[in-house]
């Protein structure tokens, strides 16, 4: 067996018409954009911004977000070209199979499955924590034995079971719920931004880029790459801090690639997929930069609370009621993240099963709901167990590796497929390829620390 064989584009598209494996095509560009925003905007918008500004960048964190967005835009364009050319479930797995070969597709498929399984479980535990904070603020105390930090986090388990059932019922129904929750989340984020403008002091932006200073060094596998190569101590603040901050906030954008997993369920994938992928990234960039501008203007960067910067920024100005609102926004926000990660995981396993890299029988869709119900049930049970009984603090560090690998492989696969199949009709093309693809593949670096999503 040739492990480097590729699957033709024509065969991949033909497989989508098989009655046993045919998904319901019901998604529009708006659905895809909301889907992308729903998974990218998580609790990180409430916590990550203040943490990086306090520890690495100062007010210049907005530059870090812009630099990170530029890197993500390179990846987004690569995903947009592939998704519009090969509108099949599986995202980076399917793209790799069509261009780089079966063994690469197999590896990246399991890489992404690991990422999404652990991601959904970790975020569900975060949801449990934020729900406990929100309920406590309105006078309801959850029993510690069944909530966040307890022996069994039944709150996180319940969330995954409910969302798994929703994903089984149908993609359109899942998107409707997702759209409502994303609307709530965006309303709260925008409200926080505009309310925070009233407390902004322009003096807090000076110095915009604080003077560089040495930070605590680490050894072994956790040390920064530059320290490993040169032996120099890592620096915070200054332009070095801005670039390090960009590597950290890069992971706040992770999720837009999940949009490509729904390619097979999109009405007009050639047009709508590029719109959904790129539009969600643009919207998230604007929101992240706005939050960064507000929070660093409300409180001097060296006084920001790295654990709950946004909530405590309002408490700093005597607006404690805003903390309740922010907790509610985080609950809505994390719900959409878990939902989209569950959908992404099921679609990747579905694509691998249909290609017979996993048992084909589990890929059969429900005759009524037209969803891969057996896969969805399995994903739901596994994620619920991980979220309920596993301390996943250490496992969080493994989540981002899958996304980094996918970004790099997709960026390589774009020029490879262009060379192999120049005859394919491409509704969207990455400009200046292969320069853009090489810039992404060479520019991605591991962060010095792992932030919350």
Q: What is the pLDDT along the chain (453 residues), one digit of tens a residue?
A: 577 788 888 888 888 887 777 888 888 999 899 888 888 887 667 767 888 898 889 999 999 999 988 888 888 888 888 888 888 888 888 888 888 889 988 988 888 888 888 888 888 988 888 888 788 878 888 888 888 878 889 999 999 999 999 999 888 888 888 888 888 888 888 988 999 999 999 999 999 998 887 766 555 555 555 555 555 555 678 888 898 888 778 767 877 778 888 888 888 988 898 999 899 999 999 999 999 999 999 999 988 877 667 777 888 888 888 878 888 888 888 898 899 889 989 999 999 998 889 998 898 888 888 889 999 999 999 999 999 987 755 555 556 666 777 788 888 888 888 888 888 888 888 887 766 666 665 544 433 333 344
| Measured CA distances, 39 to 36, 207, 317, 362, 430 (Å) | 6, 34, 31, 26, 24
Indicate which CATH number applies to the domain containing 158.
1.20.1740.10
Biggest distance spanned by C-alpha atoms of the chain: 68
66 domain-assigned: yes
Backbone angles phi, psi at 362, to 5 degrees: -75, -10
211 domain-assigned: yes
16 domain-assigned: no
Burial class (CB in 10 A: 0-12, 13-18, 19+), 369: middle
132 domain-assigned: yes
Of 327, 388, 338, nearest in space to 145 by CA: 388
| Measured CA distances, 189 to 6, 37, 186, 329 (Å) | 44, 12, 5, 7
3-state DSSP call for residue 321?
helix
Q: Which domain holds residue 195?
A: 24-216+223-443
What DSSP character marks residue 338? H
Give yes or no for a contact between 146 and 156, defined as CB atoms under 8 angstroms apart.
no
Of 343, 350, 125, nearest in space to 255 by CA: 343
The CA distance from 416 to 441, in Å, is 14
Give how many domains the chain has, as a whole number: 1
The CA distance from 114 to 151, in Å, is 24
The H-or-E segment that residue 214 falls in is strand 213-214
The CA distance from 383 to 29, in Å, is 29
159 domain-assigned: yes
Compute the Cα dihedral for 294, 298, 300, 303 and give only its sign. negative
DSSP 9-52: HHHHHHHTT-GGGPPP--B-HHHHHHHHHHHHSSTHHHHHHHHH
19 domain-assigned: no
Inter-axis angle of helices 269-298 and 309-316, to 10 degrees? 40
Of 354, 349, 273, 352, nearest in space to 19 by CA: 354
Give yes or no for a contact between 405 and 108, defined as CB atoms under 8 angstroms apart.
yes
3 domain-assigned: no
Give yes or no for a contact between 261 and 348, defined as CB atoms under 8 angstroms apart.
yes
451 domain-assigned: no
The CA distance from 271 to 385, in Å, is 39
Please indicate, yes or no, whether the overall pTM of this predicted structure exceeds 0.85.
no
């Amino acid at each position: 067996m040739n492990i480097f064989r590729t699957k033709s584009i024509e065969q991949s598209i033909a497989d989508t018409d098989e009655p046993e494996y045919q998904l319901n095509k019901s998604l529009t560009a708006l659905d895809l954009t909301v889907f992308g925003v729903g998974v990218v905007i998580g609790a990180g918008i409430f916590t990550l911004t203040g943490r990086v500004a306090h520890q690495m960048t100062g007010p210049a964190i907005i530059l870090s977000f812009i630099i990170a967005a530029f890197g993500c835009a390179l990846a987004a364009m690569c995903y947009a070209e592939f998704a519009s050319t090969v509108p099949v479930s599986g995202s980076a797995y399917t793209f790799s199979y069509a261009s780089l070969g079966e063994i690469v597709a197999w590896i990246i498929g399991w890489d992404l499955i690991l990422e999404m399984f652990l991601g959904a479980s970790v975020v569900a535990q975060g949801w449990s924590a934020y729900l406990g904070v929100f309920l406590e603020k309105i006078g309801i105390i959850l029993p510690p034995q069944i909530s966040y930090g307890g022996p069994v986090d039944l709150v996180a388990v319940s969330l995954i079971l409910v969302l798994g059932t929703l994903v089984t019922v149908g993609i359109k129904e899942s998107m409707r719920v997702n759209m409502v929750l994303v609307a709530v989340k965006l309303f709260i984020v925008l409200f926080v931004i505009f309310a925070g403008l009233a407390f902004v002091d322009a003096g807090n932006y000076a110095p915009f880029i604080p003077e560089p200073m040495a930070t605590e060094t680490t050894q072994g596998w956790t040390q920064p790459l530059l320290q490993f190569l040169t032996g120099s101590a890592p620096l915070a603040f200054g332009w070095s801090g801005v670039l390090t901050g960009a590597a950290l906030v890069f992971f706040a954008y992770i999720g837009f690639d999940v949009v490509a997993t729904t390619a097979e369920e999109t009405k007009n994938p050639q047009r709508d997929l590029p719109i959904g992928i790129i539009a969600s990234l643009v919207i998230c960039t604007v929101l992240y930069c706005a939050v960064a501008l507000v929070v660093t203007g409300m409180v001097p960067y060296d006084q920001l609370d790295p654990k709950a910067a946004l909530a405590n920024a309002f408490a700093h100005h005597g607006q404690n009621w805003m903390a309740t609102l922010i907790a509610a926004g985080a609950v809505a926000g994390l719900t959409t993240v878990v939902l989209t990660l569950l959908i992404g995981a099921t679609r990747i396993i579905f694509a691998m099963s249909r290609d017979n890299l996993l048992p084909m029988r589990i890929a059969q869709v429900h005759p009524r709901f037209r969803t891969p119900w057996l896969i969805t049930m399995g994903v739901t049970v596994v994620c619920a167990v991980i979220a309920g009984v596993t301390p996943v603090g250490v496992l969080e560090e493994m989540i981002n590796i899958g996304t980094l690998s996918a970004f790099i492989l997709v960026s390589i696969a774009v020029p490879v497929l262009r060379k192999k199949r120049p005859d394919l009709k491409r509704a969207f093309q990455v400009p200046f390829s292969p320069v853009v693809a090489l810039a992404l593949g060479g520019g991605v670096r591991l962060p010095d620390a792992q932030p919350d999503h």
